[in-house]
């Protein structure tokens, strides 16, 4: 009897708090920061690949003339 009474009185707000990631993924404001964070993590993990895209890739090679 106690478990059915407790289960029936749980408000809807408590039920939605149990899955915060699922509710965040459904919101459009989640995807832009997630994409920026993904790009930053990729640059941190593979700096050599991205350095080649933005110059020579070797900091010692430069044309001062």
Q: Which residue has the tokens 């989640």?
A: 30
pTM: 0.53
- In degrees, to the nearest 5, what angle opens at C-alpha 49 toward C-alphas 47 and 55? 90
The token duo for 22 is 């699922």
For the segment 38-55, what is each residue's pLDDT rounded down to a tens digit? 999 999 998 888 877 877
Residue 37: band (very low, low, confident or very high) from pLDDT cuts 50, 70, 90:
very high
> Of the given ranges (12-16, 28-32, 49-53, 54-58), which has the lowest mean pLDDT?
12-16
> How large is the average pLDDT for residues 21-27?
84
Q: Which residue has the tokens 């941190």?
A: 44
HSE-CB for 61 with a 13 A CA cutoff: 6
């Amino acid at each position: 009897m106690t478990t059915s009474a407790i289960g029936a009185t749980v408000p809807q707000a408590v039920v939605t708090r149990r899955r915060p990631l699922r509710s965040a993924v459904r919101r459009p404001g989640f995807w832009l920061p997630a994409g920026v964070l993904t790009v930053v993590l990729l640059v941190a993990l593979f700096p050599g690949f991205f350095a080649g895209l933005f110059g020579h890739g070797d900091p010692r090679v430069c044309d001062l003339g």
